Amino acid sequence: MKLQNYISGSFIEPDSGEWMEDYSPATGEIIGHVPKSQKSDVNKAVQAAKDALPSWSSLTHVERSEWLDKIADNLESKYEEIAQLESKDTGKPISLAREVDAYRSVKNFRFFAEIIRNLESEHFEMEDANNRIIYKPVGIGALITPWNLPLYLLSWKVAPAIGMGNTVVCKPSELTPMTADLLMKAIHEIGLPKGVINLVHGDGIGAGSPLVSHQDVNLVSFTGGTSTGAIVAQSAAPSFKKLSLELGGKNSSIIFNDCDLDKTVPGVVRSGFLNQGQVCLCGSRILVQESIYDEFVERFVNEVENMKIGDPSNEDTKLGALISPEHLLKIEEYIHIAKDEGGTILTGGYPCLPKEFEKGNWIAPTVIADLKVNSRCSTEEIFGPIVTIHKFSSEEDAIKIANNTRYGLAGSIWTTDLEKGNRVAEQIHTGMIWINTWLHRDLRVPFGGVKDSGVGREGGKWSLGFFSETMNICTKYD
């Protein structure tokens, strides 16, 4: 597949005339070519968004909701294609690509269609006046997304952004460009007005950076790593762009001795290793109350070792490949660091796979015990199939360990005492906590982190707030 940029309703080549290679994480083979875009391509895309803005922003919420529904319909007809492309491009199991990526990509458009259709202006009455709050488009949005959940995260931004009347330029990760291209084909097929959604492929420096700093871009919604987020924030600051940053995480799963182990063990395995641990919400530090530590660890390791790793296209596969050789190297380095820090590898190593996968990026799920709670492996984001397990004695101890990281995105608590679960949850410095579950998403609720995990919230009305300017019109009565 030789991909193109999508600008002003046309698929066009990058000005550089250069493409980058897109590799299959599972086999290492080249599966596509991605435009190597540069500033001039970004300029064209921003101009297209600017040209489209007046007519798109003058549509009503209901009219724009209808477009979102049409996009959802078209994506739904491509459900299996989304799953296949995403599995091939990211190395994730096909079952996961169907259940999570394809499902949420369609759902995001449907969900925002529904809430934007029903959006009403708020009123605040005074004795002698009325305040009417309206939501106006911000302008041109730069939407920048990572490789772990490509269309899931892109659609999470595109739907509320255009639904609220903005026009956008998207920059997906160069590592996983395929489903962003599919989305452009979908909007092209349904005849979405040209310039409302534009797409510039390329790397962060060549395409992402000029997009974020472009003087005509009014808002930036960025999901990615914390260090990139800091650069993006700096570039966006001089022109006071509206900014949402969804960044890294190092989330704790806190397991109390009164938990239901039959539910907790599979729940914590899922939270540790879904998508090979490459989900910002993954619970990669597992804190276990000391009286059940041995039993939990034995059952947990057993369950981890029973996960089927291998061919992402196989329906039974639970774990696929890592995104890139560079990312695999990072994971291997952290395993060395863990050993140097005194950690014990309870399970891990390399899976034994057929020859066709020998050039892929493979490593077995790795469980590490005996590390200090402030060791590098238990406080830094690794973003791969590695979890560290630690003992705690009391509620206070668990809270202290959970808060001992620069990140503050999410976490989970496992207990049958819901009062205790809620009490502990309130004291964890994160944006989200699940009790007796993980990644159980209601799209109406706020999503985002504190500390180095980000700035702002998206989700439900928080997305609508971010992707719009609220304006108050105060009318004095006679």
Contact call for residue 146 and ligand NDP (CB under 6 A): yes
Contact call for residue 203 and ligand NDP (CB under 6 A): yes
Cβ distance to ligand NDP smaller for residue 153 or 288 = 153
Residue 295 designated active-site: no
Q: Of 171, 241, 242, 285, which lies in the binding site for ligand NDP, with binding defined by CB under 6 A?
A: 171
Residue 280 designated active-site: yes
Contact call for residue 280 and ligand NDP (CB under 6 A): yes
Q: Of 32, 91, 208, 277, which lies in the binding site for ligand NDP, with binding defined by CB under 6 A?
A: 208
Query: Please, which residues bridge with residue 319 across strands?
Result: 309
Position of tokens 């919604």?
221
- Distance CA(319)–CA(401), nearest Å, equals 29
Give, as ranges, the residues between 386 and 445 that touch ligand NDP (CB under 6 A). Answer: 409
- Distance CA(123)–CA(169), nearest Å, equals 33
Strand ranges inside 186-342, DSSP E: 197-199, 219-223, 242-246, 251-255, 283-289
- Distance CA(256)–CA(291), nearest Å, equals 9
Contact call for residue 212 and ligand NDP (CB under 6 A): yes
Q: Of 173, 198, 405, 430, which lies in the binding site for ligand NDP, with binding defined by CB under 6 A?
A: 173
Cβ distance to ligand NDP smaller for residue 32 or 449 = 449
Cα 146–Cα 150–Cα 153 angle in degrees, nearest 5 = 80
- Distance CA(344)–CA(205), nearest Å, equals 39
- Distance CA(464)–CA(244), nearest Å, equals 12
* Residue of this chain nearest to ligand NDP (CB atom): 204
Compute, in degrees rounded to 10, the torsion defined by CA atoms 447, 105, 101, 6.
-110
**How near is the Cβ of 406 to ligand NDP at its closest, in Å?**
12
Helix, strand, coil share (%) of the chain residues, nearest 5? 40, 20, 35
* Active-site choice (86, 174, 246, 341): 246
Largest CA distance in the chain: 82
Contact call for residue 144 and ligand NDP (CB under 6 A): yes
Binding window for ligand NDP (CB under 6 A); candidates: 71-79, 245-253, 259-267, 286-294: 245-253
**How near is the Cβ of 51 to ligand NDP at its closest, in Å?**
23
Query: Please, which residues bridge with residue 367 across strands?
Result: 347, 387
The DSSP annotation for 344-371 comes to: EEEE-------GGGTTS-----EEEES-
Q: Of 174, 181, 311, 341, which lies in the binding site for ligand NDP, with binding defined by CB under 6 A?
A: 174
Question: Are the beta carbons of 104 and 155 closer than 8 angstroms?
Answer: yes
Nearest CA among 114, 119, 163 for reference residue 137: 163
Contact call for residue 284 and ligand NDP (CB under 6 A): no
Task: Please count the residues of this chain forming the interface with ligand NDP, following the rule CB under 6 A.
Answer: 32
**How near is the Cβ of 33 to ligand NDP at its closest, in Å?**
14
**How near is the Cβ of 225 to ligand NDP at its closest, in Å?**
3
Contact call for residue 383 and ligand NDP (CB under 6 A): yes
Q: Of 9, 249, 365, 408, which lies in the binding site for ligand NDP, with binding defined by CB under 6 A?
A: 249
**Interaction site with ligand NDP (CB under 6 A):** 144-148, 171-175, 203-205, 208-209, 212, 223-225, 228, 231-232, 246-249, 280, 381, 383, 409, 449, 454
Q: Which residues are catalytic?
A: 246, 280
